Amino acid sequence: MLAIFNKGVVNPPQELHSPASLSSSRKPKLPEQICKDFVQSHPSNTCLINFGNDASLAYAPLQNPYSTSQRLFCGIDNIYCIFMGSLNNLSNLNKQYGLSKGSNEAMFVIEAYRTLRDRGPYPAHEVLKDLDGSFGFVVYDIKAGSIFAALDANEGVRLFWGIAGDGSVVISDDLQVIKASCAKSFAPFPTGCMFHSEQGLMSFEHPRSQMKPMPRIDSEGVMCGANFKVDVQSRMTTTMPRVGSEANWALSGSHI
């Protein structure tokens, strides 16, 4: 999978930028070229959607039909989700959210996100803690102009993120795609964490703790984008109130 978001939509952590990308012979690519390369690497079964200059989402099904994991892509009411992995308690979650038995994990994530955004009765981190399984997902909400991404702590699914040549954020489950697209300005997406385009990066396992960037050196001894670890000694205050039914749920301290 591949998701690219313009820097006007997402304000990524500054630590993802590596000065080595500027001096390297291999420069970060522009979003158009990244999408073109992704489609060419999956010529027969890639789905690519461009949202003007704001975002691009690309999806290619898993090649192994016997894999217990999944890669799913769907859109409902201008909310799009790419989901990787599987949820062991999907049936119970569908009942809880009033979804049909045939709803898959991507459909559930969209409904959970929409519920939290519009009238969320629970904090977002508590909802993510209820997900039993291995999962990683990226949600793009066109109406709110925001993204929401999360990765479980079980390490059954991997996500990587980095910075394209124009400052856009690139997210993929394919490390080679990220390396080829972002040069040295990339890092693994931290496990047990969620990221929102306005609220930023936080741990849903330790929601009151701050994220601490840690310098990352690659096998060539070059500084790359930072890893992010939970600083359990710190305390993060989130007190911004939620305003109205159309308010972005991730801006609210009481819902994150």
b/e burial code for range 9-26 (CB count within 10 A of at least 16 → b):
bbebbebbbbebbeeeee
Q: State the pLDDT at residue 122.
A: 67
Residue 210 tokens, joined? 């701050």
Model pTM? 0.86
86: nearest Cα among 73, 105, 101, 60: 105
* pLDDT tens for each residue of 216-240: 887 777 888 899 988 877 655 443 3
Residue 254 has pLDDT above 70, yes or no: no
How crowded is residue 150: how many other Cβ atoms within 10 Å of its Cβ?
25
- Quote the percentage of the chain above a pLDDT of 90: 59
Contacts for 114 with CB less than 8 Å, ≥ 6 apart = 76, 77, 79
pLDDT band at 121 (very low <50, low <70, confident <90, very high): low
Residue 250 tokens, joined? 């991730």
Residue with tokens 């990226």: 138
60: nearest Cα among 75, 80, 43: 43
34: nearest Cα among 154, 183, 207: 183
Dist CA 36 CA 177 (whole Å): 12
Dist CA 135 CA 153 (whole Å): 9
Dist CA 70 CA 60 (whole Å): 11
Here the CATH number for the domain that contains residue 43 is 3.60.20.10
Residue 210's identity, in one-letter code, is: Q
Q: What is the DSSP letter of 253?
A: G
138: nearest Cα among 75, 180, 45: 75
Domain span at 75? 2-62+70-255
Q: Which stretches within the chain are classed as H helix? A: 20-23, 31-41, 90-96, 105-119, 124-129, 175-182
Dist CA 44 CA 233 (whole Å): 49
79-87 average pLDDT score: 96
* pLDDT tens for each residue of 136-189: 999 999 999 999 999 999 888 999 999 999 999 999 999 999 999 999 999 999
Instruction: Tally the domains of the chain.
Output: 1
What is the DSSP secondary-structure string of 90-107? HHHHHHHTT--TT--HHH
Contact 60, 42 (CB under 8 A): yes
**Dihedral of alpha carbons 146, 47, 31, 53, sign:** negative
Count of alpha carbons within 13 angstroms of residue 225, beta-carbon side: 26
Mean pLDDT of the chain: 86
